[in-house]
Amino acid sequence: MRWLYACFVIVLCALIFCEYVADFVVLQKCKWPEIRRKKYVDDPLRAMIIADPHLLGPHRGHWLDKLYREWHMTRSFQAASRLLQPDVVFVLGDLFDEGDMVSDKQFQEYVWRYLQMFNLPAGIPLISVVGNHDVGFHYKMHPFFMSRFENYLNYSKVHLYTIKQIHFVVVNSMAMEGDGCLFCAEAESALKNISRTLHCMQHPHEAECARTRRHPYSQPIVMQHFPTYRISDRVCREHDAPHIEAFRERYHVLSKEATDLLGKLLKPRLAFAGHSHYYCHNINRLGIDEYTVASFSWRNNVNPSFMLATITPDDYAVFKCTMLPQQFVYNSYVSAAIACLVLIAFRLRKYLVRRRPVAEKKHN
């Protein structure tokens, strides 16, 4: 029975490695990028940025697909957060695959599952940006969807979030249509208020700025679900999309007008987005670095990745961190199965060789 024991050991080793160890091995090569300027290097902000986990809901997707791929998302995230110990984690929208389709009770269960999967030690904020699968595209957004996302996860509109003197503007991409709708008007008003706040940080001695909070000024960083306007990933300096497709304004990317409005009001120095499910680094319409973050889920991208950003008030450095590929896990299990089949075939051959003289003796 040694061959059976050997098969058991091979399968067990493959299981333990793929499900508990491989994420740590792969993520060992991920390092926080270093800042070039040294002024604030003693205490930079370390931000981990992921996008589009698309947790499956009750209507779409097979239960086994949900169970296995979400298990691997959990393992990957916990390995990354333990190894890298970020100061803050941003999730750039489409937390849920069916957020605009489920009842309030189902949404509560969704949120509980999401927070269990992306659990962080006390003191590390998890900033969840709203996406179209969370509350619907522009035409489908409803106060009910918006308010429940805000109630459970804090950010459904446009907010200024400051940590370690770094200013992030969290934007609801679906409210950037500029057509005068309720949510669009609120988003534009919030952007103007944030613009005034940033102006007063930069010019605190102006009379109109007397009551403004006294955070030191630095150019903000835009965090949203849709990328800013671009025609396709062809303009990317780096990208991993297998096919280049033309992008539609207000569906794949923000419109030119919305992009220009962000530039005019915020004057950002850096932007991050998700939505496309593939990585892209480009110099966008505003003339700044923009990183489109790949989906964190194997369901959307078999070679998922996330971003690590080291940020100070006057500088930043960004690194793409590649995660455990889905194919590696499948290949590992196939290799284990082949090894077991070879052992069985070898054992069967030995058995037949032993039986042949006995059979010949009986025949004679």
Taking the model in full, what pTM does it have?
Answer: 0.90
pLDDT digits (tens, 9 = 90+) for 305-352: 999 999 999 999 999 999 988 888 889 989 988 988 888 887 777 766
d(CA 239, CA 30): 18
- The whole-number pLDDT of residue 359 equals 52
Token reading at 210: 């007397």
How far is it, in rounded angstroms, from Cα 343 to Cα 196?
72
Q: What percent of the chain has pLDDT over 70?
A: 93
Distance (Å, whole) CA 135 – CA 141: 6
pLDDT (tens digit per residue) in 144-193: 999 999 999 988 889 999 999 999 999 999 999 888 788 899 999 999 99
Q: Is-contact 320 305, C-beta < 8 A? A: yes
Q: Is 114 helix (H, G, I), strand (E, B) or coil?
A: helix
Q: What does the alpha-carbon distance between residue 248 and residue 255 come to, in Å, rounded to a whole number? A: 8
